[in-house]
Amino acid sequence: MYNAFVVGVCCRKPVKGSDPCTFRHFFIYCLHHGTQLSTLGEIGKHHLEKGEGQTDIKMLCGCCGSVYQKIDELTNHVNIENFHLRLSEIPGYHKDTFNVGEYSAQQQDRNALQEAAAVTRSPASAQAAAAVAS
């Protein structure tokens, strides 16, 4: 029987074998295969077809920008009421024009700069603390 509540939440009548809750404003991106996924069902199907283990994935969430490497963590993240209706928190994100490769490279550069800054600050902080202590 058709459930009117599902239509109100997902805004379309479910078709047998399909997932009624398509992510409206973003994709989940498989960084291993370059695949755009738009439902929890597609994520599961992709995971099974590619034969990835429970901790072999690398998927970027277009909603929050986090990279998930465990399927259960990604599933828990996505399996929240009205998740499919969320807007992306990634600055400048647009579902049709987002370049996942460029974004990933920028994030890696940003992380490398943050790590270098932390390493640079550590010896200076230690020397300053030693000078204050003496």
For residue range 56-93, list pLDDT tens digits in order: 899 999 999 999 999 999 999 998 899 999 999 999 99
Residue 129 has pLDDT above 60, yes or no: no
| Average pLDDT of the residues in 17-29 | 85
Predicted pLDDT of residue 73:
94
Give Rg (Cα) of the chain: 20
Q: Is 48 helix (H, G, I), strand (E, B) or coil?
A: helix
Nearest of 81, 82, 87, 41 to residue 61 by alpha carbon: 87
Contacts of 44 by beta carbon, 8 Å cutoff, 6+ apart: 75
Beta bridge partners of 60: 29, 67
| Average pLDDT of the residues in 42-66 | 89
Residue 8 has pLDDT above 50, yes or no: no
CA-to-CA distance for 43 and 113, rounded, in angstroms? Answer: 32
pTM value?
Answer: 0.71
Nearest of 22, 49, 25, 21 to residue 35 by alpha carbon: 49
